[in-house]
Amino acid sequence: MPAVISVKIIELTILEEFFRIKAKDKYSSARSAEISTLHGMIKTPVFMPVGTKATVKAIEHSILYGMGCAVILGNLYHLYLQPGIEILEEAGGLHKFMNWEKSILTDSGGFQVFSLNGLRKIYDNGVQFKSVIDGSTHFFTPEDVIEFQSRIGSDILMVLDECIPYTDDATYTKNAALRTLDWAKLSLKKRDKLNMERLPGNKIKVFGIVQGGFIKEIRKFCAESVSAMDFDGIAAGGLSVGENRATTMEMLGYTSEYIDSKKPFYFMGLGDPVGVIDAIYCGVDMFDCVMPTRISRMGSAFTFEGKINIKNNKYSRDFGPLDDACSCQTCTRYTKAYIKHLYKSREILAAMLLSVHNLHFMLELVKKCREAIEKGSFCSFRKEFKSVYQENHCKNL
Amino acid sequence: MPAVISVKIIELTILEEFFRIKAKDKYSSARSAEISTLHGMIKTPVFMPVGTKATVKAIEHSILYGMGCAVILGNLYHLYLQPGIEILEEAGGLHKFMNWEKSILTDSGGFQVFSLNGLRKIYDNGVQFKSVIDGSTHFFTPEDVIEFQSRIGSDILMVLDECIPYTDDATYTKNAALRTLDWAKLSLKKRDKLNMERLPGNKIKVFGIVQGGFIKEIRKFCAESVSAMDFDGIAAGGLSVGENRATTMEMLGYTSEYIDSKKPFYFMGLGDPVGVIDAIYCGVDMFDCVMPTRISRMGSAFTFEGKINIKNNKYSRDFGPLDDACSCQTCTRYTKAYIKHLYKSREILAAMLLSVHNLHFMLELVKKCREAIEKGSFCSFRKEFKSVYQENHCKNL
């Protein structure tokens, strides 16, 4: 039966190919790798622009393609409420609905649901929450969350997890962590069940999430437990939630020691340039954050010297680009004086041009890291970047 | 002295070339023509997207180039207040400031100033007004307005005029009209003085404005008076200011009889599809209106069957484009269901995609009119368009 044999070979090939490490840095945990999905190849380290509601805010897709964006993030919680799973399914999935040709990673909505203080209740078998749109009540089980993400055709699915705020309450942290680990097992079972019905090459890929708050023993336990499970990738969750940066990096460094390094490692919700470059140093492959697009709508721009804010009066007569070193559509076409004028005039084009620049900046930064890793010069690149980039470059704003 | 002779030849050539009529319709006053400026050739009938504050709202320039946009409108009143004439001059003019390569027509701001009820005073030698930004007091003479537009490098300049609301007060209408005519003469003097200092080929082009409210004798007097002056083009002002459409068209038809038909004829502030096609019938060459971009931000879209509003529930599951007959970037890439979702989610991309579509629609409409005029089929095209296009296609919204 040659047909059956050939199918098996394809399946093996696809499984082997999901994540391939290409190069490892000698002096740190940094590495470059490739992730293959049905929608193309993602080179890591990668920054994933956030398209919560099926749009990366203020950017048309073709501009994202043009800057080499291979994967964006969607959010199940938001998409479930609007337009709803049924409409996404009718459209032929999230990709077709929004006409996005590259990969999509969907977050389970755990973070969003747990942010709804007073509007949600946590149970051992899932979470009940109220819609912020119409106040209606909904319930997500860990299995629902995998099924919904599968139905809308996400390339990489995240498990439901319980995010907790920055706290030193060990009992609370432990209980939440254990619940997240229970949910992780249920999620994997659901993945396997769904994959039984799927063709080889079309299996869903699910990432587990390491929680554990800021208590090292619990983090370690979670990291080891999630690593021991058969996930397609591992994420660090519940970090960068209000704690100071030193604490974030300490917890990340500590956590990463217990992570299965053969799998992609994703730091959820981190997106400032220095944070990203430091996390790459610790072995992180994937990032997402609303920051580059959010600061754009507030008039800020990354530059290789640090963040600037276009509201500063000195830019009124500055006829140079946001960043001399930048080759984005905004910097090659428009000046600080023009963007400042647009921002001051409350014109939508200000947010559009700044979003293009800031996302291009982040994509270029991780690309430069990747290239440096492959050339064996990551640590010197990181040192140089951090010596030039000042967190508060433009202090008066 | 051969050098001097050659300069004179260039000057004659440029003057001849500013406005060239290419084709006239046999059964109406419709015509196609070309306007040449330093920034390229404008084929008429033309719709000029409004870029009041040096940006056509929610559209990046390259998309406008892509849809064949050859001229946009700026507004002196707004640009004078922010970023200010000095900054525009320092940048090398409005074109360089905003990096717009094609032509720019600037409105004098007469309409804006006269809309500032309680914030402006009209004198025989000009108008005093308060800034809506900081409350500071300013004074525009007709000469200032020409000088400012000249300094910022506008391709086509409009005179200062006194716009009046819809009224049957003959004395008020007459006094305002006479003042506008006085200002027209002062504006021409200023143009000639400025042009003395300018090189051949770089002379400023100034359009006069026909006012006269809704009293036929005064309109006629204004049309004849402005036509008798040495303007580079003539505009109909003070129409489409609140009166019903039949009155607008009656006044336009009447006015156009007394207009010098050798010059470009511009209907200020008209931009609905039926209005434009009817005005072309009356001999109008140029249009501008905020409508296509403004309705975009309110969720509406032109189609060849009429205007639709994306808020309508029936579009939630409509996976077709806004208009099947449209070849714009929005219609070739995105569905009604997606745009409805974006609009409902208050995403900026909704306004961006609708603005692309609605401006493309208007540019295509005038292009189709132009082609029909040149093929001798304008009247049948107009009849067909109006038989299909329904003003209230989507009545429930």
By the CB < 8 Å criterion, does A396 face chain B? no
Can you give the three-state secondary structure of chain B, one letter per residue? CHHHHHHHHHHHHHHHHCEEEEEECCCCCCEEEEEEECCEEEEECEEEEECCCCCCCCCCHHHHHHCCCCEEEEEHHHHHHCCCHHHHHHCCCHHHHHCCCCEEEEECCHHHHHHCCCCEEEECCEEEEECCCCCCEEEECHHHHHHHHHHCCCCEEECCCCCCCCCCCHHHHHHHHHHHHHHHHHHHHHHHHHHHCCCCCCCCEEEEEECCCCCHHHHHHHHHHHHHCCCCEEEECCCCCCCCHHHHHHHHHHHHCCCCCCCCEEECCCCCHHHHHHHHHCCCCEEEECHHHHHHHCCEEEECCEEEECCCHHHHHCCCCCCCCCCCHHHHHCCHHHHHHHHHCCCHHHHHHHHHHHHHHHHHHHHHHHHHHHHCCHHHHHHHHHHHCECCCCCCC
CA angle A215, A217, A221 (to 5 degrees): 115
Q: Give domain A15-289's CATH superfamily.
A: Queuine tRNA-ribosyltransferase-like (3.20.20.105)
- In the residue annotation, B288 being an active-site residue is answered as yes
Residue B337: its chain A contacts at CB < 8 A?
83, 87, 91, 97
Do B110 and B161 touch, CB atoms closer than 8 A? yes
Residues ≥6 apart with Cβ < 8 Å to A321: A330, A331, A332, A334, A335, A336
Q: State the Cα torsion A137-A142-A143-A144 to the nearest 10°.
A: 30
In A145-213, beta strands by DSSP E: 156-158, 205-210
Q: Which residue of A has its CA nearest to B353?
A: A60
- In the residue annotation, B107 being an active-site residue is answered as yes
Helix (H, G, I), strand (E, B) or coil at A103: strand
pLDDT value at A15 more than 90: no
By the CB < 8 Å criterion, does A352 face chain B? yes
The DSSP bridge pattern shows strands B103-107 and B71-75 to be parallel
Measured CA distances, B94 to B54, B105, B107 (Å): 8, 11, 13
pLDDT value at A183 more than 60: yes
Q: pLDDT class for A394, splitting at 50, 70, 90?
A: low
Measured CA distances, B305 to B56, B302, B308, B326, B388 (Å): 25, 8, 9, 12, 5
Note whether B55 contacts A342, CB cutoff 8 Å. Answer: yes
pLDDT at B164: 87
pLDDT at B394: 52
Q: pLDDT class for A14, splitting at 50, 70, 90?
A: very low
Cα gap A102→A154, rounded to integer Å: 11
pLDDT mean across residues, chain A? 93
Choose among A62, A98, A348: nearest Cβ to B351: A348
pLDDT mean across residues, chain B? 93
pLDDT tens digits for range B342-375: 999 999 999 999 999 999 999 999 999 999 999 9
Q: pLDDT class for A308, splitting at 50, 70, 90?
A: very high
pLDDT value at A43 more than 60: yes
Give percent above pLDDT 90 in chain B: 85
Do B241 and B165 touch, CB atoms closer than 8 A? yes
CATH 3.20.20.105 fits domain B17-289: yes
pLDDT at B115: 79
pLDDT at A114: 79
Q: pLDDT class for B390, splitting at 50, 70, 90?
A: confident
- Amino acid identity for residue B41 in this structure: M
Give percent above pLDDT 70 in chain B: 94
Q: What is the mean pLDDT of residues A112-136?
A: 87
Q: Which residue has the higher pLDDT, B53 or B15?
A: B53
Which is nearest to A360 in space by CA: A279, A298, A296, A264? A296
pLDDT value at A3 more than 70: no
pLDDT tens digits for range A324-355: 999 999 999 999 999 999 999 999 999 999 99
Interface of B with A in 277-296 (CB under 8 A): none
Cα gap A36→A50, rounded to integer Å: 20
pLDDT value at A2 more than 70: no
pLDDT tens digits for range B282-323: 999 999 999 999 999 999 999 999 999 999 999 999 999 999
Q: pLDDT class for B14, splitting at 50, 70, 90?
A: very low
Residue B353: its chain A contacts at CB < 8 A?
60
Note whether A348 contacts B347, CB cutoff 8 Å. Answer: no
Which is nearest to A307 in space by CA: A317, A322, A319? A322
Q: What is the mean pLDDT of residues A247-255?
A: 93
Choose among A83, A329, A333: nearest Cβ to B341: A83
- HSE, side-chain direction, 13 A CA sphere, residue B157: 29
Quick check: bond before B264 cis, omega within 30?
no
pLDDT tens digits for range A286-302: 999 999 999 999 999 99
Per domain, the residue ranges of chain B are: 17-289, 297-388
The DSSP bridge pattern shows strands A233-236 and A265-267 to be parallel
Q: Which residue has the higher pLDDT, B191 or A241?
A: B191
By the CB < 8 Å criterion, does B347 face chain A? yes
Cα gap A41→A38, rounded to integer Å: 8
pLDDT at B16: 52
Q: What is the mean pLDDT of residues B213-217?
A: 94
Note whether B316 contacts A83, CB cutoff 8 Å. Answer: yes
Helix (H, G, I), strand (E, B) or coil at A385: helix
Examine the predicted complex and report whether its ipTM is higher than 0.90: yes
Which is nearest to A112 in space by CA: A84, A83, A77? A77
Q: Which residue has the higher pLDDT, A118 or A201?
A: A201
Whole-model pTM: value is 0.94
Helix (H, G, I), strand (E, B) or coil at A244: coil
Fill in the DSSP letter of residue A50: B
Q: What is the mean pLDDT of residues A265-279?
A: 96
Q: What is the mean pLDDT of residues B9-26?
A: 74
Q: What is the mean pLDDT of residues B187-201?
A: 95
Measured CA distances, A115 to A23, A55, A109 (Å): 38, 21, 10
